[in-house]
Amino acid sequence: MQEKVKEWLEQGRVDIFLGYKMVEGHPLPHSFTKDNIDEVKDLVTSSARYSLEKIATKIAAQKPDIKIGLIARDCNERALNVLHIWKQLNSDNIETINVNCCPSRIKEHADCSYLEPEKPGAYKKTVGIENNADVEDIEKFSQEELFKRWMYELQKCIKCYGCRDICPVCFCKECTMDSPELVATGGDLPPEVPIFHLVRAVHMGGRCIDCGLCEDACPVDIPLRMLYRKVNGIVADVFDYKTGVSADQSPFNILGEKVTLQPKPI
Amino acid sequence: MDYKNIPSVCSYCGCGCGVLFQVMDGRLTGTLPLKTHPVNEGRLCIKGWNLHEHATSDRRLTSSMIKKDGQLQGASLDEAVKTTAERLKGIIDQYGPDSVGVLASAKVTNEENYLIQKITRAVIGTNNVDHCARL
Ligand code: SF4
Ligand code: SF4
Ligand code: SF4
Ligand code: SF4
């Protein structure tokens, strides 16, 4: 990998390469460039996941023509697809080096941080929703019970906005969650529970690539991905569209030549 | 294009969460949680997430201020120190050291806070010292 990155930088195939470097025992996202080419020997993969593609989006917003290379696991690749579709990154300017990824429903063998299920505590089992359950599992609860359990989870929210801030596909210049004109706030910002979570869940339809970074960043362990899996299940059923799997036009994307918002024939 | 992540510690409260400052071409543009930090394990509260805004805010004071004619006005550091010392001395002489209370800040370093309590106890002579983030 290091050889390849060195070659890419030297030949100008990429201007900057986003990977990881160990700094005082912590794997930190690091940008490698031609000017510090000797550092490439320190390039490593990391079991702690940072959204390198979100960093790439930030850099590209400043320098649209810059060629960016990055280490990509499956989740990074899926996020890149969405970012290409939504014109946040130009696919011609992005090069990836694929590395092994996290154990998930999609991929069993892998080696990174989060997705090994954590055992939920007894209290959470009784009144809340297990983060690693399936949508189908929790839908076995009665409506009333399910509502109670969701409200238990959602009322823990401390409105850190971490779920949005860390999300690779939350790139809006003006976020609804910050705009009293766009969201019923029940008074002041931030919006109340559960409006905050439900509005964000709707936005994740056709966007969320199920990387789990939001849940990883949530200080109070709310099973956020479950909400987004549910909306994306609906998107898959209605539009026959699997978010992040390819860089094909999204049914929600009205930029471009034609409107594609078409339900699939039933 | 120069992009760096600088590891640091959140200075907003006593938890001491690990953060990464995103620096682009020498400008502080964002804050990320440090995933491998033992305190926060990749999580932050809203203050931590917005640390960079504090540092880059245009409302941030860039000089010492003294209240003159009922209004805060810019002043040199020497002038500010001299005025503060004179006023403190006057108040202590007249009402005693316990008439003074000192509030320290979460936005200075631990060492500076140590010095603040030291000056309060040893120089002013009171135990009236507290901190906004005394968790
Ligand atoms: S799992 Fe969370 S962080 Fe990842 S894309 Fe979906 S909403 Fe964003
Ligand atoms: S929460 Fe919604 S509005 Fe806010 S950045 Fe994400 S997608 Fe955009
Ligand atoms: S990360 Fe969790 S606590 Fe923070 S705003 Fe999102 S749901 Fe709420
Ligand atoms: S203010 Fe928030 S982010 Fe900062 S140290 Fe305290 S809990 Fe952590």
Note the pLDDT of residue A68.
95
A33 forms bridges with which residues in the sheet? A16
Which pLDDT score, from 0 to 100, does residue A57 have? 94
| Structure letter (DSSP) for residue A94 | E
Q: Name the amino acid, one letter, at B10.
A: C
DSSP string, B66-91: EEETTEEEEE-HHHHHHHHHHHHHHH
More confident residue, A157 or A193: A157
- Ligand 2 lined by A200 (C-beta under 6 Å): yes
Burial per residue of A171-207, b for 16 or more beta-carbon CB atoms within 10 angstroms, e otherwise: beeebbbeeeeebebeeeebbbbbbbbebbbebbbbb
Q: What is the Cα Rg of chain B in Å?
A: 19
**pLDDT of res. A113:** 44
Can you count the helices (H) and strands (E) in chain A? Answer: 10, 4
HSE of A92 in the Cβ direction (CA atoms, 13 Å)?
2
Tell me which amino acid residue A226 is.
Answer: M
Asked if B24 has any chain A CB less than 8 Å from its own CB, the reply is yes
Burial class (CB in 10 A: 0-12, 13-18, 19+), B27: exposed
Q: In this predicted structure, what is the pLDDT of residue A110?
A: 52
At B135 the pLDDT is: 46
**Which whole number is the average pLDDT over A145-172?**
94
Closest CA to B22 of A166, A74, A14, A84: A166
The string of DSSP letters for B8-77 reads EE--SSTT--EEEEEEETTEEEEEEE-TT-TTTTT---HHHHTHHHHHH-TTS--SEEEEETTEEEEE-H
- CATH fold, domain B3-56, is N-terminal domain of TfIIb (2.20.25)
- Residue the block writes with tokens 């069993």: A108
Closest atom of ligand 4 to B106 CA is 1
Residue for token pair 């790439």: A56
Distance of alpha carbon B116 from alpha carbon B129, whole angstroms: 8
Q: Is the pLDDT of residue A205 over 80?
A: yes
User: Does residue B84 sit at the A interface (CB-CB below 8 Å)?
Assistant: no
pLDDT of residue B42: 93
Chain A interface, best mutation among B13, B27, B32, B50, by max A CB count within 10 A: B32
Chain A residues inside the 8 Å CB shell of B24: 58-59, 62
Q: Is there a contact between B101 and B129 (Cβ–Cβ < 8 Å)?
A: yes
Min Cα distance B7 → chain A (Å) is: 8
d(CA A205, CA A196): 15
Answer yes or no: are the C-beta atoms of B66 and B51 closer than 8 Å: no
**Confidence label for A34 from pLDDT (cuts 50, 70 and 90):** very high
Residue A121 pLDDT: 84
Ligand 4 atom closest to residue B33's alpha carbon, by position in its atom list: 3
Q: Is residue A249 within 6 Å of ligand 2 at its C-beta?
A: no
Which chain B residue has the Cα nearest residue A68? B1
How far is the alpha carbon of B132 from chain A, nearest alpha carbon, in Å? 20
What residue type is A53 in one-letter code? E
> Are A59 and B4 in contact (CB < 8 Å)?
no
Q: d(Cα B84, Cα B63) in Å, to the nearest integer?
A: 15
CB A75 within 8 A of CB A102: yes
Per the CB < 8 Å rule, is A55 touching B22?
Answer: yes
What is the DSSP secondary structure assignment for residue A246, as one 8-state letter? Answer: S
- So what's the pLDDT on residue B40? 93
pLDDT above 70 (res A260): no
Decide if pLDDT at A263 tops 80: no
Average pLDDT of the residues in A160-166? 94
CA distance B81 to B87: 10
Closest approach of chain B CAs to the CA of A29, in angstroms?
Answer: 7
Rounded to whole angstroms, how far apart are CA atoms A3 and A186? Answer: 56
Q: Where are the domains of chain B?
A: 3-56, 61-95, 96-135
Confidence tier at A247 by pLDDT (50, 70, 90): confident
Q: What is the pTM of this model?
A: 0.84
Q: How far apart are CA A209 and CA A199, in angstroms?
A: 17
Give me the amino acid identity at A253: N
Listed in sequence order, the residues at least 6 apart from A171 whose beta carbon sits closer than 8 Å to its beta carbon are A54, A57, A83, A86, A88
Among residues A263, A266, A199, the alpha carbon closest in space to that of A235 is found at A263
Give mean pLDDT, residues B87-110: 91
Q: Which of A86-95, A224-233, A240-249, B49-58 has the lowest mean pLDDT?
A: A240-249
Best residue in A50, A51, A115, A167 for a mutation probing chain B (most B CBs within 10 Å):
A50
> Which band of pLDDT confidence, cut at 50, 70 and 90, is reported for residue A115?
low
Torsion angle in degrees (nearest 10) through CA of A115, A216, B8, A77: 60
* Beta bridge partners of residue B21, listed in sequence order: B6, B31
Q: Is A97 helix (H, G, I), strand (E, B) or coil?
A: strand
Q: Contacts of residue A22 in chain B, CB cutoff 8 Å?
A: none
* Partner-chain contact B44 A24, CB within 8 Å: no
Percentage of the residues of chain A whose pLDDT score is greater than 90: 50
Residue A214 Cα to ligand 3 middle (Å):
8
What is the domain partition of chain A in residue ranges? Answer: 2-105, 117-239
Judge whether B63 is closer than 8 Å to chain A, CB to CB.
no
